[in-house]
Amino acid sequence: MTEHVTSSRGDTIGYDRRGEGPAVVFVAGAGPFRAIDPQTTETAELLAERGFTTVVHDRVGRADSFREGRVDLTDELAAVSALIDIAGGRAALCGHSSGCAIALRAAAEGLPVDRLVLFEAPLDPAADGVPEWTAELYRLLDAGDRPGAVSHYMKDIPLEVLEGLRASPLWEPFVAHAESLRADAQALEWAMSAPHRELFGTLDVPTLLVVGEDTFDEMPAAAASLAAALPDATRAEVAGAQHSWEPRAMADLLTDVLRTR
């Protein structure tokens, strides 16, 4: 059953809370919300059965957390803070894709984060053109061109995949939620603004960098860079493909990791 909490920024956040025990807050990447993200829901359900509190929310500007107007990274961090609070005051953050950058920023800002689990953070240090890419996204959003903003954000995915999305029932909510992409872009821009060792070298939060068994070349490269930069980091591989994890395998990995803290 959906519950709601109001963040310090005044946003109403819809979320599902399950189980009792050490807390895990999941942070989705660009696009997903609970109704179309069964892999995260199933993972959270499995963890709740194993003695954890899990929280899965709709990001600010999406679905049950929808509102009009500009959505910044500050708003999303306030939402994460509110969710950690309702989960018991401290939590592990499990980020997916650009949600990894949001989770990293939350830890860097001093939120009460016990551990980070980052699945396929798109932070390959060899990538270039990030400031130009984010600037164009902000221009499109500021101009009110939501379809253009979604298309621009996804410009690096295969054309046939993008065309399939445009023809699918998901296109309408993705466009309606386009403003939420601003927070993803701001987090990615920050996480790529300097060498990873410079940005994260003092972030003393135990961190697990995870990639799927079948993934894109840049994901292991990003995980290697982050693992080398963070003071307390390890790496793992989990069953998964095409930038997604297999829920039971991810739940098994999270159970092992979170019970060691």
Q: What is the pLDDT of residues 142-200, one digit of tens each?
A: 999 999 999 999 887 777 778 888 999 999 999 999 999 999 999 999 999 999 999 99
Question: Residue 184 falls within a domain, yes or no?
Answer: no
Question: Residue 44 falls within a domain, yes or no?
Answer: yes
Res 260: pLDDT: 74
Same domain, 156 and 77: no
Phi and psi at residue 50, to the nearest 5°: -100, 10
The domain of 71 spans 3-126+195-258
Question: Residue 57 falls within a domain, yes or no?
Answer: yes
Per the prediction, the chain carries an average pLDDT of 95
Q: How far apart are CA 28 and CA 37, in angstroms?
A: 9
Structural domains of the chain, count: 2
Question: Residue 239 falls within a domain, yes or no?
Answer: yes
Closest CA to 94 of 110, 109, 114: 114
- What is the H or E stretch that residue 120 is in? none
Same domain, 121 and 134: no
Same domain, 22 and 120: yes
Question: Residue 185 falls within a domain, yes or no?
Answer: no
Beta strand 233-241 with 113-119 is unpaired
The SS3 call for residue 24 is strand
The SS3 call for residue 169 is coil
Same domain, 147 and 19: no
Same domain, 116 and 235: yes
Res 158: pLDDT: 73
Same domain, 85 and 212: yes
H, E, C per residue of the chain = CCEEEECCCCCEEEEEEECCCCEEEEECCCCCCHHHCHHHHHHHHHHHHCCCEEEEECCCCCHHHCCCCCCCHHHHHHHHHHHHHHCCCCEEEEEECHHHHHHHHHHHCCCCEEEEEEECCCCCCCCCCHHHHHHHHHHHHHCCCHHHHHHHHCCCCCHHHHHHHHCCCCHHHHHHCHHHHHHHHHHHHHHCCCCHHHHHCCCCCCEEEEEEEECCCHHHHHHHHHHHHCCCEEEEEEEEECCEECHHHHHHHHHHHHCCC
Question: Residue 164 falls within a domain, yes or no?
Answer: yes
Same domain, 111 and 231: yes
Question: Residue 190 falls within a domain, yes or no?
Answer: no
Same domain, 41 and 113: yes
Same domain, 110 and 229: yes
pLDDT over 70 (residue 202): yes
pLDDT over 60 (residue 8): yes
Same domain, 142 and 234: no
Contacts with 172 (C-beta within 8 Å, 6 or more apart), sequence order: none
Query: What's the CATH code of the domain at 24?
Result: 3.40.50.1820
Which pair of structure tokens corresponds to residue 34?
Answer: 């609970």
CA torsion, ordered 144, 59, 102, 26, to nearest 10 deg? -160
Q: What is the pLDDT of residues 48-100, one digit of tens each?
A: 999 999 999 999 999 999 999 999 999 999 999 999 999 999 999 999 999 99
Same domain, 155 and 229: no
Percent of the chain with pLDDT over 90: 90
Same domain, 119 and 134: no
**pTM of the entire predicted model:** 0.96
